[in-house]
Structure 1
Amino acid sequence: MQEKTENVIRMYEKVVYYDPANPWDWDILSSLYNDIGNMSKARDAALRIKKIAQNDSEHLMAASVLGRVQMDDDDLAGAAESYRQSLTITERLARANPKDVMLRRKLAHLEGSEQLINIMERSAKGEDVQEQLTVALGHFRQYLTLTERLIRGDPNNAKLQEDMSGIFMVIGSIQAMQANITGATESYRQSLTITERLAKENPDDLRLQHLLSTSLDIFGHIQMVQGDPVGALDSYSRSLATTELLVKGSSNDVMLQSRLSASFGYIGNAQMAQGDLTSAIERYHQSLTIAENLARSDPGNAELQYDVATSYQRLADAGVPGFTWERVRLHLQAMKNQGIFKPSYEDFLAEAAENAAREQGTPSVLDNQQP
């Protein structure tokens, strides 16, 4: 999959070389760079759109594309500013065209996305976000309503169907953060149903197959939260089968190999929850082998190094000799020393330090706190 994406990237690099003034081509190129994890080039391509934009539509595209890249690159402050710019333009366009459903739909999406960034920023500070979750849910429900309206007029539009699947996924995530597990499960189920149908109708569309695998994993996660490891194991196993088919067609694809490693880990978690320690440990080792191979091939890749730490943690929790929370801590600390440690990893490092202290019989920070 990644190899094919890189071939398309080379084609679009030639396209923008000969016609650098077309913002749509830069949009596609930015998205392709994003797909393979080259965030620096994805950002550069997005900034080129901003540089050549000549009207509201193109300025809106520039801000939206840049915001997407910033979100994926954990730049919440930058993403918030880009979404505010998008929102300002869209509000102006929507006021001038109040009957334009596409603009109203775009506005609902941006308003919801702005709230999600606000939620992430407040959560990072330990602040309450329930009010913001309710507001975000309202915007995404409006986004869903307008998307359903468009689908009624164009029921065979696969892009709109895929958008609707994504909206259900976001709504499910918000409901999960609200501790509405029943609602989240239903939203995830609706998202998965749409994705399964699209993937079945387009078996050669690798992106849709990849999306199906991701959707199955997410549905498996909510089943685990519900205390249904049997159902989760089924979802994870179906996800693994989908990923294995994709890997057969592109065995050197780093993203697919990473997904394969994750699938083995998820299956191990479900087996562990059912008390099948032997099978779980076997799956954890399979996950670790892939994760370590990928990390060795790209030692500066934060996500790949983080995956190794996650595998260490699972094996430590399973009580496998040679795997301790101190080993997890040392790996995360090495990442920090190397300069590839993301702010979102801080909680994991703190957890590793606490558990490592307990393993070694040293009083931890939490142990010393008064009840």
Structure 2
Amino acid sequence: MNRHRVLTLVLLGCVLQPPAPGLAAPVSTIDADAEQKTLVDRLVLDRATTLATAEKRAFDRERTLLAQLDERDKQLRRSLAQRKQSEADAASTRAELLHVTAERERLVADIAARDATYRAELAEYRRIIASLASSPSAERRQDLARYADGDRIGAFPVLEARTRAEEAAREKANKLKAAEEYRQLAALAADMKDRGEKTTDEVVRLWQAAAERDPGDLWTWIFLARLHQEAGHTVEAGDAAARALHAATQPRDRSVALNTLGDVQVAAGDLAAARKSFEDSLQIDRRLAAANPGSAEAQRDVSVSLNQLGDVQVTTGDLVAARKSFEDSHQILTRLAAANPGSAQAQRDVSISLNRLGDVQVAAGDLAAARKSFEDSHQIRTRLAAANPGSAEAQRDVSVSLNRLGDVQVAAGDLAAARRSFEDS
């Protein structure tokens, strides 16, 4: 064998065989690697035959012999696939297949020895096919085996469709990752806005970047709706709220989106639509609370929806309905506070509900009931302030409750009591 032929066989060996492993691998891994190598070798030899024949890279006798060996290879593989042979016949078939494969490799090596372009093209083909054969996708490997077995017409469009689907999945995953990173930036920017270090429009820009990359995220649209509303962008706020409702797939998410939409509709002056949104949200919350009576969160959600509905009922002048909404909310919050007496927030929620109720009682002209509501709220806030004397919020709450109480005392004609309330505040 001349030196040129030896060098070519070495180079072709790089094409037809993977590098030897440095460490012993488990038997299952060795079997899988051997199966993968056999598949790649088959496809490389098939490609080598096609190149030699179609582009006349070989002598006539070589092309003829390659075609004959290729056909014999297929016949032998079909025989093995049918599994109708005895074990002895199958062993004989496998032995002949090895011989045919060796002859094909020898012929390909002879052609590659004379044609560097042919050799380089096969090496690149092996690299591509080896990458495909080592794909983590079992389906892609199965499609490639189907191609190697001769069903190219059937296998290729499947491989192409799978490639497009996987490309789309990668693109979507990249967009979702980028969206999450923009949401993280937006959260930090919102904190900076609250500190006076960024504008609302700057925060909106980041949330919009997240929405463009992940339009199905509910909270992205809710934050955008709130920020647009804060900036006075009524149309944009309404669009974001509608997108939030569309993105809501779970009942509680839908309730949150409806409440957000209702707030935007109130700001836009569409009170009838807002009332409908809050009523729909309340129906969802009540169903969830009934299904999970032990959930404080579910009960509190009902209270929130009742308060939002009550506010719009007050605005439209339906004071009877508003009073009922606030009374129902107050009852829920009172039960939650009783179940969690150590929670200052639960107690404060009750005081807020009493103030809401007192306001609508004043509007309805029931000053006695309003005075009672404000007095009860004041007592709660006084206890909370005494328990936390260092809290500016707790002290301010007491002052607010005293002013409300003073106002209703004035309206009721009890000026002496009103004077004391205002002085104490």
TM-score normalised over the length of structure 2: 0.51
Alignment partner for residue 212 of structure 1, among 279, 293, 302?
Answer: 302
Q: Does 2:241 correspond to 1:140? A: yes
In the aligned structure 2, how far is the partner of 1:208 from the partner of 1:68? 28
Q: How many residues align?
A: 244
Question: Conserved in 2, the CA contact under 8 Å of 1:265 and 1:283?
Answer: yes
- Output aligned runs, 1:159-308, within 5 Å: 160-308=250-398
CA deviation after TM superposition for structure 1 residue 316, in Å: 2.3
* Secondary structure of the corresponding residue to residue 215 of structure 2: helix
Percent same amino acid among aligned pairs? Answer: 25
Q: Return the letter of the residue paired with 2:245.
A: L
Whole-angstrom CA distance in 1 between matches of 2:258 and 2:278: 6
The CA RMSD measured in Å over matched residues stands at: 3.0
Deviations 1:29-86 (CA, angstroms, capped at 9, x unpaired): xxxxxxxxxxxxxxxxxxxxxxxxxx64653453355467678x67683776555434
Corresponding residue number in structure 2 for 1:350: none
CA distance in 2, matches of 1:77, 1:167: 26
Q: 1:63 aligned to 181, 185, 193, which one?
A: 185
CA distance in 1, matches of 2:243, 2:300: 27
Q: Is the 8 A contact 2:326 2:353 kept in 1?
A: yes
Asked if the contact 2:225–2:260 (Cα under 8 Å) also holds between the matched residues in 1, the reply is: no
Structure 1 match to 2:405: 315
CA shift for structure 1 position 178: 1.4
Structure 1 residue 299: Cα displacement: 3.8
- SS of the aligned residue for 1:323 comes to helix
Aligned-partner Cα distance in 2 for 1:168–1:302:
34
Q: Distance in 2 between matches of 1:199 and 1:80?
A: 37
Change in CA separation of 1:75 and 1:211 when aligned onto 2, cut-off 3 Å: farther
Does the 8 Å CA contact 1:67/1:80 hold for their aligned counterparts? no
Structure 1 residues 190 and 323, CA gap change in structure 2 (3 angstroms): same
Larger radius of gyration: 2
The reply on whether 1:117 has 2:227 as its aligned counterpart is yes
> Which runs of 5 or more residues in structure 2 are unaligned?
1-176
* Structure with more relative contact order (C-alpha pairs < 8 Å, separation 6 or more): 1
Q: Is the 8 A contact 1:76 1:117 kept in 2?
A: no
> Within 5 Å, which residues of 2 pair with 1:310-349?
310-318=400-408, 319=410, 320=414, 321-323=416-418, 327=422
Instruction: Report the Cα distance in structure 2 between the residues aligned to 1:162 and 1:221, rounded to whole angstroms.
Output: 21
Give me the whole-angstrom Cα distance separating, in 2, the residues matched to 1:234 and 1:279. Answer: 14
